[in-house]
């Protein structure tokens, strides 16, 4: 059974979550799968042109030119070996390649793990305007619902209004927050927060940081200082560091991931704004280059519009459609 | 800086052609393939890339080109012209009204930098163009967005219409327009909430604001790091609102700027401004031809000169040039010169603008910046007499200066050596001047940079 039929059967009975996931991904799915299907109809049997158009579809999804070329090459090779020329089956091989390519790059575990007796510290990093603060609110809401005593730490002391933004969320969510004066050293705010969490037995601490472009050496150094300071207060912390990436990001997303991985111990990526028209192909590119998994995806502006990343569903949404 | 790696890629491709005596189908084919990959890696829209490479091929294979002696240069020119074509061949500026307030509306996806840019634009208008500015806080959705604009307004020192989050953005805009007209402001900037172009309800809201206040400019914020979808987003906003321009934000990252290269061509919306940093001053007017020069590693001398004109005190510069030429160049002048250069901004950013200097790593730039700082600290620890007359610096004075500046004697000696080098350069310049020839590359007051270990 090909992967597509497997996925189809798996999601035949649509649970609620899949439904929401699909709604959010609707745009991406329509774009990608419509194009793929149009392509299938245009060609009775595949030729050079078919593969070129396939390449175009992948590149237009922000998968990246190198990865796209590689995937196409793999598909081409296999189709030659197996003597397959039916477009439908070629597409199945394509999805197969993407699936295996992602899955073989490392672990797939989305949910955070919590330890007895010591707070789990999550450091949230990313470039400007990707939705760090909103994602933090969504994550806080998610784990508060699971009964975790949660503390927010407003270590973005730079951007005008950032602390206020997080404070508004803390009030709405009914979780505690640590803030510092504007322009304060973010590392000291982070330290205060983590210290409070340790002394007052919080389960979960989320440290918000200012958006920074990965090319700013001094700001990246500041980030590594924040990380160090947190580690001084709680050994092993931050246990998790999430890089937040906007789904509309192009190949610069890979550069972002590389640069942030140099100064922090990246344990996951959260893709935000996946409810737009972009295809989030950067998910595959980042995994391919760095092996860092996508843990969650943001599908809207409401607090519960955050879903665990599910490779099956993602590829299903992207390639199969309905 | 944005475009940097695209620049590297392209110059690598052109280099390969240098050995070839003419352009042929076959050497063109390889090169076009490489250009194609370089552009796609830079997130230039797929369709734009296709058209671009086709155009280059067509022009390059024309009879006229084949007869040219140097195919590499010719190709650079063709690619350059095509890039200018893509970016828009004319400067497009914001149009300001003379008799009534100009109304500018900022729109875009979430997180593209609307509020920040509104602040920067207010700063630019107030400080560089002497205009009175009113901001309108129309983002009632994102928590604390209004606080953000409020803080920016205070920092810049302009007025703001802030009606809280309970009032509709349409109403806020109407009130702001009334205030702008009644109190004779020059420019009203309306900040709006970020929204997805597929969100019909929120897009309708933008339409309502537009209908209510008829803005002169509707500017779409585009993140320089956006991927292939940037064009779709711009098209959707344009179809709904009839945009008058785009602002590329975050061009100070290492994005290869593909969105910037695609938007104008695919949507017809011209880029008017670029955001190049987090400071309020980091907003530039966009010049397509200069940008094309920069992408091809040809530097951007015009921007450099403009920056220099803004930052360098002309009297001061003349004084030190005259002094230099007369051979009376001392450490005070070296320090003054250094300060002038520092006013231009970061060394790294500056070097990008100088043609033929693409191969400098961030580490090298940082080292050079550290070095400049050292020079400053060390000279500052000297007495007036020592600065005017460095020859008197002997061992005990050197120890004192080293201790005072927290540097080593070796570092002090390095500074002195550079001073000697600069002095020698000055003498050379003077010879050039007397003989009536210009030195190669003559950058006038900046000539001394050569002595700074670059």
pLDDT single digits (tens) B246-303: 999 988 777 777 888 899 888 989 999 999 888 898 998 888 877 777 777 655 555 5
Strand order in the sheet with A176-178: A176-178, A150-155, A204-209, A120-125, A240-246, A268-272, A294-298, A306-308
Residue B260 is predicted with a pLDDT of 81
Instruction: Please report the residues numbered 76 through 105 in chain A whose beta carbons come closer than 8 angstroms to any beta carbon of chain B.
Output: none
Task: Report the C-alpha gap between A196 and A200 in whole angstroms.
Answer: 6
Task: Report the Cα A152 to chain-centroid distance in Å.
Answer: 21
Contacts of A210 in chain B (CB under 8 A): none
Confidence band (pLDDT; 50, 70, 90) for A29?
low
Task: Report the C-alpha gap between B88 and B264 in whole angstroms.
Answer: 7
Six token digits for residue B383: 């007495």
Which residue of chain A has the CA closest to B113? A129
Task: Say yes or no for a CB contact (<8 Å) between B144 and A161.
Answer: yes
Q: Is the pLDDT score of A267 beyond 80?
A: yes
Q: Is the pLDDT score of B209 beyond 90?
A: yes
For range B394-415, the mean pLDDT: 88
Contacts of A273 in chain B (CB under 8 A): 109-111, 196
Cβ-nearest to A252 among B146, B151, B255: B255
pLDDT single digits (tens) A37-67: 777 777 777 778 888 888 888 898 888 888 9
Task: Say yes or no for a CB contact (<8 Å) between A59 and B254.
Answer: no
Which residue of chain B has the CA closest to A216? B253
Is any Cβ of chain A less than 8 angstroms from the Cβ of B366?
A: yes
Is any Cβ of chain A less than 8 angstroms from the Cβ of B93?
A: no
Task: Say yes or no for a CB contact (<8 Å) between A168 and B144.
Answer: yes
pLDDT single digits (tens) B57-88: 888 776 555 555 566 667 777 888 888 888 88
Residue B162 is predicted with a pLDDT of 94
Task: Say yes or no for a CB contact (<8 Å) between A249 and B226.
Answer: yes
Task: Say yes or no for a CB contact (<8 Å) between A251 and B113.
Answer: no
Task: Report the C-alpha gap between B182 and A288 in whole angstroms.
Answer: 58
Q: Mean pLDDT score of chain B, rounded to an integer?
A: 81
Residue A264 is predicted with a pLDDT of 93
Residue B441 is predicted with a pLDDT of 43
pLDDT single digits (tens) A90-141: 888 888 888 888 888 887 788 898 988 899 999 999 998 899 999 999 999 9
Residue B436 is predicted with a pLDDT of 59
State ipTM: 0.77
Residue B20 is predicted with a pLDDT of 65
Interface mutation target, options B42, B49, B111, B150, chain A, most CBs of A under 10 Å: B111
Task: Report the C-alpha gap between B288 and B83 in whole angstroms.
Answer: 8
Q: Is the pLDDT score of B323 beyond 70?
A: no
Task: Say yes or no for a CB contact (<8 Å) between A217 and B255.
Answer: no
Task: Please answer whether residues B76 and B14 qualify as being in contact, where contact means their C-beta atoms are separated by less than 8 angstroms.
Answer: yes
pLDDT single digits (tens) B227-260: 888 999 999 999 999 999 999 998 877 777 788 8
In this structure, of A145-154, B202-211, B321-330, the range with the lowest mean pLDDT score is: B321-330
Is any Cβ of chain B less than 8 angstroms from the Cβ of A221?
A: no
Report helix, strand or coil for A160: coil
Residue B343 is predicted with a pLDDT of 67
Residue B452 is predicted with a pLDDT of 40
Sign of the dihedral through C-alpha A122, A147, A314, B43: negative
pLDDT single digits (tens) B361-404: 667 777 777 888 888 888 888 988 888 888 888 888 998 998 88
Which residue of chain A has the CA closest to B235? A277
Task: Report the C-alpha gap between B403 and B407 in whole angstroms.
Answer: 7
Interface mutation target, options A26, A134, A161, A246, chain B, most CBs of B under 10 Å: A161
Residue B326 is predicted with a pLDDT of 67
Structural domains present in chain A:
15-103 (1.20.120.140), 120-309 (3.40.50.300)
Q: Is the pLDDT score of A320 beyond 80?
A: no
Name which residue leads in pLDDT, B205 or B12.
B205
Contacts of B230 in chain A (CB under 8 A): 248, 250
Helix, strand, coil percentages (3-state) for chain A, rounded to 5, are 50, 15, 35
Sign of the dihedral through C-alpha B120, B268, B297, B432: negative
Report helix, strand or coil for A208: strand
Contacts of B165 in chain A (CB under 8 A): none
Q: Output b/e per residue, B354-392; b: 16+ Cβ within 10 A.
A: beeebeeeeeebeebeebbebbbbbbebbeeebbeebee
- Chain A: closest CA distance from residue B287 (Å): 23
Structural domains present in chain B:
4-87 (1.20.120.140), 102-289 (3.40.50.300), 304-451 (1.10.260.30)
Task: Report the C-alpha gap between A157 and A183 in whole angstroms.
Answer: 5
Task: Report the Cα B107 to chain-centroid distance in Å.
Answer: 22
Q: Is the pLDDT score of B206 beyond 80?
A: yes
Is any Cβ of chain A less than 8 angstroms from the Cβ of B43?
A: yes
Residue with tokens 């598909």: A75
Report the percentage of chain B scoring pLDDT > 70. Answer: 77
Query: For chains A and B, what is the number of CB pairs under 8 angstroms?
Result: 145
Question: Can you give the three-state secondary structure of chain B, one letter per residue?
Answer: CCCHHHHHHHHHHHHHHCCCCCCCHHHHHHHHHHHHHHHHHCCCCHHHHHHHHHHHHHHHCCHHHHHCCCHHHHHHHHHHHHHHHHHCCCCCCCCCCCCCCEEEEEEECCCCCHHHHHHHHHHHHHHHCCCCEEEEEECCCCCCHHHHHHHHHHHHCCEEECCCCCCCHHHHHHHHHHHHHHCCCCEEEEEECCCCCCCHHHHHHHHHHHHHHCCCEEEEEEECCECCCHHHHHHHHHHHHCCCEEEEECCCCCCCCHHHHHHHHHHCCCEEEEECCCCCCCEEECCHHHHHHHHCCCCCHHHHHHHHHHHCCHHHHHHHHHHHHCCCCCHHHHHHHHHHHHHCCCHHHHHHHCCCCCCCCHHHHHHHHHHHHHHHHHHHCCCHHHHHCHHHCCHHHHHHHHHHHCCCHHHHHHHHHHHHHHHHHHHHHHHHHHHCCCCCCCCHHHHHHHHCCC
């Amino acid at each position: 059974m090909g992967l597509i039929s497997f996925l189809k059967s798996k999601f035949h009975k649509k649970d609620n979550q899949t439904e929401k996931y699909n709604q959010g991904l609707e745009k991406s799915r329509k774009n990608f799968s419509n194009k793929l299907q149009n392509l299938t109809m245009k060609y009775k049997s595949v030729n050079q042109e078919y593969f070129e158009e396939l390449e175009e579809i992948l590149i237009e999804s922000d998968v990246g030119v190198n990865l796209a070329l590689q995937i196409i090459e793999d598909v081409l090779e296999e189709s030659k070996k197996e003597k397959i020329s039916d477009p439908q089956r070629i597409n199945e091989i394509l999805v197969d390649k993407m699936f295996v390519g992602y899955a073989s790059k490392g672990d797939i575990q989305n949910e955070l793990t919590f330890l007895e007796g010591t707070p789990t510290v999550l450091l949230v990093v990313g470039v400007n305007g990707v939705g760090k603060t909103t994602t933090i609110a969504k994550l806080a809401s998610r784990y508060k619902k699971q009964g975790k005593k949660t503390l927010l730490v407003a270590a973005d002391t730079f951007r005008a209004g950032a602390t206020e933004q997080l404070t508004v969320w803390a009030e709405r969510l009914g979780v505690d927050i640590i803030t510092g004066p504007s322009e304060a050293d973010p590392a000291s705010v982070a330290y205060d927060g983590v210290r409070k969490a340790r002394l007052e037995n919080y389960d979960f601490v989320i440290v918000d940081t200012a958006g920074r472009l990965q090319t700013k050496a001094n700001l990246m150094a500041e980030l590594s200082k924040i990380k160090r300071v947190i580690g001084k207060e709680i050994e092993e912390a931050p246990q998790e560091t999430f890089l937040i990436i906007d789904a509309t990001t192009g190949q610069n997303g890979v550069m972002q991931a590389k640069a942030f991985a140099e100064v922090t111990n990246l344990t996951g990526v959260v893709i935000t704004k996946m409810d737009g028209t972009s295809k989030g192909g950067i998910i595959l590119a980042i995994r391919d280059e760095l092996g860092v998994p996508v843990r969650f995806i943001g599908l809207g502006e409401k607090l519960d519009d955050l879903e665990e990343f599910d490779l099956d569903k993602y590829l299903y949404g992207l390639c199969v459609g309905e | 800086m944005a475009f940097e790696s695209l620049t590297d890629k392209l110059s690598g491709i052109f280099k390969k052609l240098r050995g070839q005596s003419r352009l042929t189908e076959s050497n063109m084919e390889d090169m076009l393939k490489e250009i194609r990959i370089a552009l796609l890696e830079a997130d230039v829209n797929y369709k734009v890339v296709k058209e671009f490479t086709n155009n280059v091929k067509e022009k390059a294979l024309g009879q006229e080109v084949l007869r040219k002696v140097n195919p590499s240069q010719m190709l650079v020119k063709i690619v350059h012209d095509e890039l200018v074509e893509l970016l828009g061949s004319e400067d497009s500026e914001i149009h300001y009204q003379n008799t009534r307030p100009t109304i500018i509306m900022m729109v875009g996806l979430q997180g593209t930098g609307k509020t920040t840019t509104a602040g920067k634009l207010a700063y630019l208008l107030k400080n560089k163009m002497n205009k009175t500015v009113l901001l309108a806080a129309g983002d009632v959705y994102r928590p604390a967005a209004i606080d953000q604009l409020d803080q920016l307004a205070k920092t810049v020192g302009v007025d703001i219409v802030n009606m809280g989050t309970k009032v509709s953005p349409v109403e806020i805009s109407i009130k702001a327009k009334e205030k702008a007209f009644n109190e004779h402001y020059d420019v009203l900037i309306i900040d709006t909430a970020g929204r997805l172009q597929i969100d019909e309800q929120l897009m309708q809201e933008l339409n309502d604001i537009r209908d209510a206040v008829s803005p002169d400019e509707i500017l779409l914020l585009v993140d320089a790091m956006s991927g292939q979808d940037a064009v779709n987003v711009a098209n959707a906003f344009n179809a709904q609102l009839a945009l008058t321009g785009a602002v590329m934000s975050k061009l100070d990252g290492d994005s290869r700027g593909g969105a910037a290269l695609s938007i104008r061509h695919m949507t017809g919306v011209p880029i008017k401004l670029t955001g190049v940093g987090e400071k309020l001053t980091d907003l530039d007017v966009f010049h397509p031809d200069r940008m094309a020069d920069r992408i091809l590693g040809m530097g951007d001398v015009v921007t450099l000169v403009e920056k220099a004109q803004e930052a360098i005190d002309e009297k001061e510069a003349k004084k030190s040039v005259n002094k230099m030429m007369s051979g009376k160049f001392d450490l005070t002048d070296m320090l003054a010169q250094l300060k002038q250069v520092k006013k231009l901004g970061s060394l790294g950013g500056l070097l990008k603008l100088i043609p033929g200097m693409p191969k400098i790593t961030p580490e090298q730039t940082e080292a050079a910046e550290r070095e400049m700082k050292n020079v400053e600290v060390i000279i500052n620890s000297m007495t007036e007499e020592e600065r005017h007359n460095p020859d008197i610096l002997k061992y005990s004075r050197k120890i004192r200066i080293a201790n005072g500046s927290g540097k080593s004697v070796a570092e002090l000696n390095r500074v002195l050596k550079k001073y000697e080098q600069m002095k020698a350069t000055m003498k050379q310049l003077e010879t050039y001047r007397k003989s009536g020839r210009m030195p190669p590359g003559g950058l006038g007051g900046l000539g001394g940079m050569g002595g700074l270990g670059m």
